[in-house]
C-alpha cells in the first residue's frame, strides 16, 4: 500500500503547500540573509531571526557567515575576476547552471569568511548545529516531508532543495547581471529581471539593489513591487523588525543659488538619482535635437545613442560607436564630458570635502556658460539640491 503521509493529502494540495514552503525560504534569504545580515539594512527581533536561521538550516544547509561573506565580496569585487559569480566573467551559462558550485568555492575559502563575514551570528546554536551540521538539517527536512506527505514528500523535498540554487544562484546571480531593464547606471551590469518582485521575494529588482545596496526596500518606481519589503513592513508593525536604511531622497529648493556643503552632501548621497535625472533632462533632449531626422529614426537612433552615452560599461565595438557619435556632434560631446566630470566629483577624486565643493561649484559655473539650454537648466536646479529631511 502506498503511504501518503500523516496528512494524507492529494498531490495538488501537496504542490501548493510546497510552493508556500519555498516562498518562506525565499523570504528567509531576502529578509534575513540579504537585507538584515549582509547589508545591515534592518534589525530583526530574536523571534523572526531565530526562525529564519532554523528554517534555512532545514531547507538550504547554508551557513550564515559564509553566505554573507560571499555576497559582500560580490559587491566589493563586482564584475571583476575576483567576483565569486559574475556572468560577465564566467559566462551566463556557467553561473545559471553551476552557480551553487561557484558559491561553494568562495564559501570554502577561509580568507573570504574572515574578511567579509564579520558581524554574523556566533552563538552556541550557530557553532554547534547550524555551522557544524550543515547537511543534517536538509536530511531532517526530508524525514519531515515524507512523514507529512508520504511518497509525494520526496518530490516536495527535491523542489525545496532546488529552489534557492535555481532562483537565487541561477536567476539572480546569473540573469540579474545579464538581462533586464536598468533604472540606474551603476558601474556593474546589474539589471532588474522583473518589476514585480514576487517569486524571488523582491530580489528581481537587482539593479535597484546595486544602486542602493544598504536599502531595506528594493523597489524604486511606483509600479515596482517588492514583496519582501511588504513583509518587512508587516514585521515592523508587529514590533519584530526595525528598518535602519532606505534609499536617499533629494529635492530641489527653488531659488537656492549658493552651492554649499548641503548641496555636495545631497549630490554624493543621491548620486544615482542625480545621474538618472541627467540622462533624462540633458542627454535625452540633446540627443533628440542632434541626431533625429524623423520620428521613427529618432526613436531608433536616439535610444541607442542615449544608451551608449549613459553607460559606464562598454565593449570595444560600443566604445568605437560612441566615439563616432561624439565626433559627429559638438553638443553631445560637451554634455557627455560634463557627465563624466560630474561622476568624477562623486567618486571623490579630490583630497578634501572643500576641494570637492570647489569642483562642484566650478562644474556648475562652466555648465551654465556652455550655451546648451538643457545642461544650463540642469545645473541651475543642481544648485538647489538638498536631501529630504535635512532641513
Per-residue pLDDT averaged across 311-317, rounded?
70
- With a CB cutoff of 8 Å and minimum separation 6, the contacts of 73 are 82, 83, 84, 106, 112, 115, 116
**Over the stretch 237-269, which tens digit does the pLDDT of each residue have?**
999 999 999 999 989 998 899 999 999 999 999
- Best CA proximity match to 190, nearest among 166, 173, 206: 206
Give pLDDT, residue 389.
64
Judging by beta carbons within 10 Å of its beta carbon (0-12, 13-18, 19+), is residue 92 exposed, middle or buried? middle
Which residues touch 246 (CB under 8 Å, ≥6 apart)? 215, 216, 217
pTM for the model: 0.90
Q: What is the mean pLDDT of residues 367-380?
A: 96
Average pLDDT over residues 31-38: 98
Residue 308: pLDDT band by 50, 70, 90 thresholds?
A: low
Q: Which residue has the higher pLDDT, 57 or 249?
A: 57
Calpha distance 146→154 (Å, rounded): 6
pLDDT attached to residue 292:
72
d(Cα 382, Cα 374) in Å, to the nearest integer?
A: 12
Q: What is the CA 338 to chain-centroid distance, rounded?
A: 27
- Contact criterion met (CB below 8 Å) for 359 and 345: yes
Whether pLDDT at 371 is above 90:
yes
Rounded to an integer, the average pLDDT of 214-233 is 97
Query: How large a percentage of the chain has pLDDT more than 90?
Result: 76
Instruction: Give how far the C-alpha of residue 24 lies from the chain's centroid of Cα atoms, to the nearest Å.
Output: 21
Task: Give the whole-angstrom CA distance, residue 92 versus residue 98.
Answer: 10
Give the mean pLDDT of the chain. Answer: 91
User: How far is Cα 389 from Cα 386, in angstroms, rounded to an integer?
Assistant: 9
Can you say how many angstroms the Cα of residue 255 is from the centroid of all Cα atoms in its chain? 35
- Residue 17 vs residue 3, higher pLDDT: 17
Query: Residue 258: which H helix or E strand, with range?
Result: none
Report how far residue 312's alpha carbon sits from residue 211's, in angstroms, rounded to the nearest whole number: 13
Amino acid at each position: 500500500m502506498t503511504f501518503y503521509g500523516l496528512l494524507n493529502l492529494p498531490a495538488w494540495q501537496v504542490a501548493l503547500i510546497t510552493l508556500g514552503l519555498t516562498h518562506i525560504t525565499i523570504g528567509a534569504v531576502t529578509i534575513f540573509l540579504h537585507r538584515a545580515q549582509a547589508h545591515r539594512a534592518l534589525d530583526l527581533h530574536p523571534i523572526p531571526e531565530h526562525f529564519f536561521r532554523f528554517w534555512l538550516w532545514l531547507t538550504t544547509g547554508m551557513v550564515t557567515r559564509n553566505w554573507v561573506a560571499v555576497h559582500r565580496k560580490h559587491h566589493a569585487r563586482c564584475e571583476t575576476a575576483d567576483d565569486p559569480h559574475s556572468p560577465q566573467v564566467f559566462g551566463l551559462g556557467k553561473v545559471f547552471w553551476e552557480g551553487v558550485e561557484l558559491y561553494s568555492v568562495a564559501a570554502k575559502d577561509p580568507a573570504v569568511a574572515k574578511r567579509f563575514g564579520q558581524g554574523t551570528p556566533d552563538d552556541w546554536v550557530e557553532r554547534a548545529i547550524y555551522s557544524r551540521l550543515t547537511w543534517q538539517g536538509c536530511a531532517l527536512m526530508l524525514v519531515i516531508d515524507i512523514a507529512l506527505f508520504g511518497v509525494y514528500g520526496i518530490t516536495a523535498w527535491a523542489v525545496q532543495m532546488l529552489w534557492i540554487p535555481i532562483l537565487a544562484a541561477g536567476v539572480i546571480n546569473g540573469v540579474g547581471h545579464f538581462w533586464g531593464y536598468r533604472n540606474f547606471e551603476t558601474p556593474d551590469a546589474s539589471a532588474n529581471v522583473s518589476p514585480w518582485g514576487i517569486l524571488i521575494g523582491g530580489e528581481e529588482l537587482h539593479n535597484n539593489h546595486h544602486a542602493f545596496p544598504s536599502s531595506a526596500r528594493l523597489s524604486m518606481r511606483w509600479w515596482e513591487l517588492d514583496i519582501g519589503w511588504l513583509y518587512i513592513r508587516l514585521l515592523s508593525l508587529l514590533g519584530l523588525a526595525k528598518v535602519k536604511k532606505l534609499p536617499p531622497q533629494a529635492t530641489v529648493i527653488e531659488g537656492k543659488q549658493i552651492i554649499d556643503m548641503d548641496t555636495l552632501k545631497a549630490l554624493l548621497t543621491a548620486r544615482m538619482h542625480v545621474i538618472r535625472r541627467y540622462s533624462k533632462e540633458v542627454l535625452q533632449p540633446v540627443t533628440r535635437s542632434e541626431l533625429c531626422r524623423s520620428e521613427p529614426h529618432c526613436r531608433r537612433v536616439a535610444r541607442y545613442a542615449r544608451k551608449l552615452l549613459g553607460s559606464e560599461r562598454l565593449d570595444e565595438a560600443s566604445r568605437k560607436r560612441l566615439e563616432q557619435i561624439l565626433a559627429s556632434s559638438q553638443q553631445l560631446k560637451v554634455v557627455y564630458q560634463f557627465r563624466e566630470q560630474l561622476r568624477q566629483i562623486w567618486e571623490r577624486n579630490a583630497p578634501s570635502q572643500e576641494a570637492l565643493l570647489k569642483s562642484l561649484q566650478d562644474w556648475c559655473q562652466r555648465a551654465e556658460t556652455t550655451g546648451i539650454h538643457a545642461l544650463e537648466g540642469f545645473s541651475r536646479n543642481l544648485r538647489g539640491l538638498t536631501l529630504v529631511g535635512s532641513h
